[in-house]
Amino acid sequence: MIIMSDELLKQILDKINSIDTRLDNIETDIKDLKQGQQEIKDHLIQLDSQNAERHITAFSKLESVDKEVRFIKHKLHQTEEDVFDIKDHLKLIK
């Protein structure tokens, strides 16, 4: 049987107390990390919802721009036809 001195027992107890304090700190850190992780998840969910709304808005604006471009092309074509008819008419007058 091993007999331990009071000094050795005190050192062991101090070491155990030190380890216990470190474990308490680690547990606190883990709780803080979990809370931070949840906050990040919540923020990402909020951002995802905002991005969806922005995509819908952007898509709607793109559709509007596309329609306007098609209209301008149509009017340009009509104008080119009118210019052609005017030139053709001018040739007949000369």
- pLDDT tens string 46-71: 998 889 889 999 999 999 999 999 99
Q: What residues contact 55, with CB distance under 8 A and at least 6 apart?
A: none
pLDDT reading at 45 higher than 80: yes
pLDDT of residue 3: 72
pTM, rounded to two decimals: 0.52
Angle at CA of residue 66, ends 61 and 70, nearest 5°: 150
